[in-house]
Structure 1
Amino acid sequence: MSGKLRIGLAGLGRMGRIHATNLGSRCARAELAAVFDVDSAAADRIAEEHGVTGVDSFERLLAADIDAVAITTPTGTHADLAVAAARAGKHVFCEKPISLDREAALRAIAAVEAEGVAFQIGFHRRFDPDWVAATERIHAGELGEIALLRTSLRDMAAPKAEFLAGSGGLFLDVTIHDLDTARWMAGEITEVSAHGAVVSDPGFTAIGDVDTAVVVLRFANGALGVIDNSRAAGYGYECSTEVLGSLATVRIDHPQSRHYEWRTPGQAATPLVRDFEQRYPFAYAAELDAFADAVRTGTPVRASGSDALAAFDLATAADRSWREERAIPVRCTESGYVLG
């Protein structure tokens, strides 16, 4: 394959537009070739903006002059679209989770494996320069024996109600990122214990969900983990991680949108990021370039279907722990986690 990887983008909601911008102007090894959305006006608008083909069906997207597809449609459609793309011989980049139904996720993973196409999941922290550098040093042994991992993911304000209704809940939509980070940085997990609360909007109770949660993990290597999540932190968007080891501690905490401090009598202020788009300007482009590299070289992707399945299983364990008010033992296998 010569030149940039030509990607057809399915779904032009918020994440789709972020990927369209990156593929259209920021990626070095991948490019936007065609777009599809059920809202044909949105597809036409983005297609015109980036000078690419806009189509009115996923089938036509697969028939376009593309090497791969990026799936950023609503979660409930991910698995079926991934299967269709794989059977059409297209490599697949898919936002998390693969599905809210485990069997559907397994079918998608089986389809891409059977067709021999690359399948990468949008766990963007695995491509952020800060997390990558810290994790490489941990895996090289510079941190020593891990004792504790602490990680936070807090949104400034909750998404719209129509998104929440199909999101799968806090644990499958938000905590899943922290669970993937925990596995990646500190190793496999043996127990999940979750506590949830509704503090920002009683509407979360009405849909059987929570807006705030704390999850405690036990790792196979004896370490402990603590995750805290919020749908409505109010002050801004925060994503931070700290890992304590016997030789060192690493902390990733980068909430500022600008690297200056404004000082007035009696106080100092720094501008904070408002959302994940502001926090990860490099990671979203880097993950698509890494996907293109994996396709070209035939090397494994850095965030695989198996990683997505493991994070899904752990998020399911967290949700079950919260609902059943008990710790959930988990066991890692070749086909994901088995919940006790």
Structure 2
Amino acid sequence: MTVGIGLAGLGRIGRVHARNLRGRCAEAHLACVYDADTAAAQEVAAAFEVPWVATFAELLDRCAAVAIASPTATHAPLTIEAAAAGVPVFCEKPLSLDRDAALAAVEACEQAGVALQVGFHRRFDPDWVAAAERIAAGELGQVQLFRTSLRDMDPPNPAFLAHSGGFFADVTVHDLDVARWLCGEVAEVSAHGAAADPAFAANDDIDTAVVVLRFASGALGVIDNSRSARYGYECSTEVMGTLATARIDNPHPRGLEWRTPGAATRGFARDFEERYPFAYAAELDAFARCVRDGSPPRVTGRDAIAASDLATAATESWRSGRTVSLEVPV
């Protein structure tokens, strides 16, 4: 029996989740949809042949669990409301751009005893999962160097930037979460950024960044990010250890290679949905298992806060031009 999940928020990522819950997930299904824009809710409900509701409270009443993909400012309040109703929550990152609000949401779920899983999809991609398992088993040896790239093909609409939380909170936070997951806690962050596109500078933001990490273990890390790589969407990672190196290359979305004299071409993914055809469904299936059997989420609210803390440190470093040290949990 699959778990019925109510979906709140039907923007771009919400519709990704709707498609997966309707057709790709093995352990969860789309039970009902809600959006503050009732026209959007009616449209998606009709497209996926599911009910829609006019309020989040109604969604909580109808569903065994909820997935929150609404605007960032609503994440913490809706999570707290779901916790009060005893309904498990899957929430897109970030829980909040305000740390106190994010912590309040996490504590509300902990006190209510309901599961809270946050949407860091790379933790569910088969390649990253396989690498993480072998690193955790000791096959890599001691980590020496972590390197990752995350590059969007096209820049977002400038109107989005004012509410994004800034480059490091919106983009780099994924890499920072992976860094903690694969290599352990981060002790120092040094970030450098630039705005080649005037639209980013006008919003006091950047479109390109390099972040250097020093882990508590002494290992080093390098992250490079871009909002407008133009050639395609890229996400690749490498972890070098004393016994082996794990490398996750950027895959091509199709197997076709077109060869002409002196050249061979293959296509690149255009966006995160095309790059991660399995991860978004897998994270919702994992959430459904948490709901069904009470197992702990693979990505917790406190993981989300830790990644956001690192993004805040990167922002501080970029603005100040100084390395930022962090308290490492004992």
> Please, what TM-score do these two structures have when normalized by structure 1?
0.95
State yes or no: 1:12 paired with 2:17. no
The CA deviation string for residues 266-299 of structure 1, in whole angstroms up to 9 with x for no partner, is: 1111111000000011000000000111122211
Partner of 1:139: 136
Aligned to 2:107: 110
Amino acid at match of 1:135: A
Q: Write out aligned runs for 1:94-109 (5 A).
A: 94-109=91-106
Unaligned 5+ segments in structure 2 are: none
Residue 207 of structure 1 and its aligned partner are, at CA, apart by 1.1
Q: Is the 8 A contact 1:190 1:219 kept in 2?
A: yes
Deviation, 1:63, is 2.1
**Once superposed, what is the RMSD of the aligned Cα atoms?**
0.9
SS at match of 1:32: strand
Residue 10 of structure 1: CA displacement? 0.4
What is the alpha-carbon distance in structure 1 between the residues aligned to residue 88 and residue 80 of structure 2?
11
| CA distance, structure 2, for counterparts of residue 80 and residue 332 of structure 1 | 29
Report the equivalent of 1:241. 237
State the one-letter code of the partner of 2:3.
Answer: L
How far apart are the structure 2 equivalents of 1:234 and 1:81? Answer: 36
Tell me the residue number matched to 2:88: 91
CA contact (8 A) 1:237 1:255 kept: no
**Selected match of 2:58 from 39, 60, 80:** 60
Q: Which runs of 5+ in 1 are unaligned?
A: 335-340
Distance 1:236 1:45 in 2: 30
User: 2:193 is matched with which residue?
Assistant: 196
Distance in 1 (CA, whole Å) between partners of 2:55 and 2:199 is 35
CA distance in 1, matches of 2:326, 2:214: 10
| Residue identity opposite 2:23 in structure 1 | S
Residue 122 (structure 2) aligns with:
125
Q: Which amino acid aligns with 1:254?
A: N
Is residue 147–residue 221 contact of structure 2 (8 Å, CA) maintained in 1? Answer: yes
Which AA in structure 1 matches 2:195?
V
Residue identity opposite 2:216 in structure 1:
A
Question: Of 252, 255, 261, which residue of structure 2 is paired with 1:259?
Answer: 255
Q: Which residue of 2 aligns with 1:274?
A: 270
Partner in structure 2 of residue 158 of structure 1: 155
How far does residue 156 in structure 1 lie from its aligned partner after superposition?
A: 0.2
Aligned counterpart, 2:24: 26
For residue 51 of structure 1, report the CA deviation from its aligned partner.
1.6
Whole-angstrom distance in 2 between the partners of 1:300 and 1:306: 12
Q: CA–CA distance in 1 between the matches of 2:242 and 2:156?
A: 40
The equivalent of 1:227 in structure 2 is 223
- The code of the aligned residue for 1:305 comes to G
State the 1:254 CA deviation: 2.6
Runs of 4+ in 1 over 4 A off after TM superposition: none
Assess if the C-alpha contact under 8 Å between 1:8 and 1:69 holds in 2: yes
Helix, strand or coil for the counterpart of 1:333? coil
Per-residue deviation at 1:263?
1.1
Shift of 1:255: 3.4
- Amino acid across the alignment from 2:17: H
Q: Structure 2 CA distance, aligned partners of 1:11 and 1:285?
A: 17
Q: Using structure 2 for the length normalisation, give the TM-score.
A: 0.98
**Partner amino acid for 2:76?**
A
Q: Which amino acid aligns with 1:34?
A: C
Paired position in structure 1 for 2:299: 303
Q: What is the one-letter code of the residue matched to 2:83?
A: A
